[in-house]
Amino acid sequence: MKKIIEANWDLCVGCNRCVRECPMELANVTYQDEAWNIKVKIDHSKCINCGRCIFACKHKARQYVDDTERFFQDLANGVSISLIAAPSIRTNMPEYKKLFTYLKKIGVRKIYDVSLGADICVWAHVRHIEKQKSCAPLITQPCPAIVSYCEVYKPELLKYLSPIQSPMGCISVYMKKYEGIEDRIAAISPCIAKADEFDDTGLALYNVTFIKLREYLEKNGIELPIEETGFDHYECGIGSLFPMPGGLKENIEFYFGKKVHVSKAEGMNVYEKLDDYAVADKNSLPDIFDVLNCAEGCNIGSACLHDRNIFEIDSAMKQARSAAVENRTKDYFESLYKEYDNKFKLSDFIREYHQIDLPQLQITDEDIRKAFELLDKDNYEKQNVDCGACGSETCYGMARKIALNVNIPMNCVIAARDEALLEREHNAEYEALMQELLSHGPMEKI
């Protein structure tokens, strides 16, 4: 994985919020620094760049990097760059058409809506399903954090990952192969982890996120022009719904109806559900499992501005949906897909996945026993306090992390409390002994 998320040790107070929010057991490593302060660092080989720790941290000790500065610098140096913008730009930057005017003025050549890539992505899924003559279990993959999880932690799921490029991948292929655009491609993106996808596919070279883009504009005192500029292509279908949870589900069902069983999952429990998927009987799996890392989808992604509430976002997406499906029936989309059949080769929009070898650490019951011993938890009650202050949901989870060398006994507040109480008792006994000795008169010098 790319080193995208960074930690500021000076600001880290060891509160364990990042540990608690991270869905990966080994990605955060708790330790004591030279001054004996508890800190949490990132093991980037085990981090899937989901970004949850950034929003969990209340001390600004977690930040991320993207390509915004490099994007503007390359534009200033005359590099030919065209742009793709995620559909969630509508809910994150309502002034996006004024932004497009500014970007065109400083050198951006073409600007394409990733909604078009989503339409192509849905067409490719439809044709892939029809080509298989049966909808074999399929896990969608517009979310790069999900892809990374499968590649690093659950390689047995790679055979189920959709072979179709993400909407950003599809629009990039379209621009390069079918529009003859030879520029570098930059993406205005709601997602920290898109950098991993771009690094893997090589289709886009800049991940310009909403947060960093807004920071750049403000830091440089850039005022957007009044004039508005739209996209450099024709209107899109209902691909604009992709940022919503279940967006692909709605697209697929619009075409196939309910005969294709589509389930969806997003947010905190999505990785647990993927774990369950990996061991489930194949006959019990849905035809399509539509999954996203972020609870409210890409509209509130890991690199979104979060300055609008979910009701405002839902309202905007409802309007986008109405505009996308207005006066359009299944016949319209069948006609559109036939046009795509004549224009595109399905094979152009296919990608591959590769297992990322990660040493699998094995721990035994004896390792857990020793960890509990280090915590001074020698009975059922002590081993099941489950306060969660250490970042693990249970004391057993904490013992696992100690056995895996990603947490330390000092980070258990209960063990620290009990140690403090024991020290207090020893001090009280010492004081009582001294008082008793002093009551017998002055002590003789030795």
Question: Does residue 306 register a pLDDT over 60?
Answer: yes
Q: pLDDT tens-digit profile of 142-151? A: 799 999 999 9
Tokens found for residue 170: 């599809």
Distances (CA, A) of 189 to 61, 83, 147, 208, 214: 23, 11, 17, 6, 12
- Give dist(CA 74, CA 312) in Å, integer: 35
Nearest to 125 by CA among 36, 256, 2: 256
Specify the pLDDT at position 141: 80
Q: Residues 46-69: what's their mean pLDDT? A: 94
Question: Does residue 114 register a pLDDT over 80?
Answer: yes
Specify the pLDDT at position 335: 81
Q: Residues 225-232: what's their mean pLDDT? A: 94
The full set of domains in the chain, from first to last, is 1-64 (3.30.70.3270), 68-349 (no CATH), 363-446 (no CATH)
Question: Does residue 71 register a pLDDT over 50?
Answer: yes
Phi, psi (rounded to 5 degrees) for 208: -100, 105
Which residue, chain included where needed, has tokens 């250490």?
Answer: 390
Q: What is the average pLDDT value for the chain, to the nearest integer?
A: 87
Alpha helices in 205-360 (DSSP H): 210-219, 247-256, 270-279, 310-325, 330-343
- Give dist(CA 143, CA 23) in Å, integer: 15
Nearest to 103 by CA among 170, 166, 187, 180: 187
Question: Does residue 94 register a pLDDT over 70?
Answer: yes
Return the CA Rg of the chain: 27
Q: pLDDT tens-digit profile of 343-399? A: 999 999 999 999 998 887 889 999 999 999 999 899 999 999 999 999 999 999 999
Question: Does residue 17 register a pLDDT over 70?
Answer: yes
Q: pLDDT tens-digit profile of 241-254? A: 555 555 666 677 77
Q: How much of the chain exceeds pLDDT 90, in percent?
A: 59
Specify the pLDDT at position 207: 97
SS3 148: helix
Element (H, E) at 70: helix 68-76
Rounded to two decimals, the pTM is 0.87
Confidence of residue 421 (pLDDT cuts 50, 70, 90): low
Question: Does residue 64 register a pLDDT over 50?
Answer: yes
| HSE, side-chain direction, 13 A CA sphere, residue 209 | 25
Specify the pLDDT at position 419: 66
Judged on CB neighbours under 10 Å (0-12, 13-18, 19+), 383 is middle
Which residue, chain included where needed, has tokens 């899924």?
Answer: 125
Q: Which of 46-50, 130-134, 201-205, 397-401 has the lowest mean pLDDT?
A: 130-134
Confidence of residue 90 (pLDDT cuts 50, 70, 90): confident
Considering only residues 280 and 329, tell me which one the structure prediction assigns the higher pLDDT.
280
Question: Does residue 321 register a pLDDT over 70?
Answer: no
Question: Does residue 108 register a pLDDT over 70?
Answer: yes
Specify the pLDDT at position 446: 46
Confidence of residue 88 (pLDDT cuts 50, 70, 90): confident
245-264 burial: b if 16+ Cβ within 10 Å, else e: bbbbbbbbbbbbeeebebeb
Considering only residues 99 and 236, tell me which one the structure prediction assigns the higher pLDDT.
99
Question: Does residue 238 register a pLDDT over 90?
Answer: no
Specify the pLDDT at position 75: 97
Handedness of CA 84, 188, 202, 274 (dihedral sign): negative
